[in-house]
Amino acid sequence: MATPNKPFADMLRSGRTVWAAGAYDALSAKLINEAGFAAIMTTGFGVSASHLGQPDLELYTMSENLDVVSKVVDVVDVPVIADTDTGYGNAINVMRTVREFERAGVAGMIFEDQESPKKCPCVADVIEILSLEEGAAKIRAAVSARRDPDTLIIARTDATSEDEAIRRGKAYADAGADLIQPISKCFSDFAGLSRLREAVNVPLSLQILGWLETDLTPRQIEEVAGLAVFPLVPLMTATAALRANLRELVTSKSTSQLPADVTTMADFKDLIGFKELESLQEKFLLGN
- Classify 114 as helix, strand or coil: strand
Mean pLDDT of 16-39: 98
Burial label for 114, CB within 10 Å (0-12, 13-18, 19+), is buried
Domains of the chain, each with CATH number or no CATH: 6-238 (3.20.20.60)
pLDDT one-digit tens code per residue, 47-56: 999 999 998 8
Write down the pLDDT at residue 34: 97
Mean pLDDT of 223-242: 97
pLDDT one-digit tens code per residue, 122-171: 656 677 999 999 999 999 999 999 999 999 999 999 999 999 999 999 99
Residue 120 has pLDDT above 90, yes or no: no
Active-site annotation holds for 122: no
Q: Indicate the average pLDDT of the chain.
A: 94
The answer to whether the CB of 176 falls within 8 A of the CB of 190 is no
CA–CA distance, 156 with 172 (Å, rounded to integer): 9
pLDDT one-digit tens code per residue, 86-103: 999 999 999 999 999 999
Question: Helix 265-272 to helix 274-284 angle, to the nearest 10 degrees?
Answer: 60
Write down the pLDDT at residue 3: 80
Question: Helix 26-35 to helix 62-75 angle, to the nearest 10 degrees?
Answer: 40
DSSP structural state of residue 93:
H
Q: Which of 120, 145, 227, 238 is catalytic?
A: 120
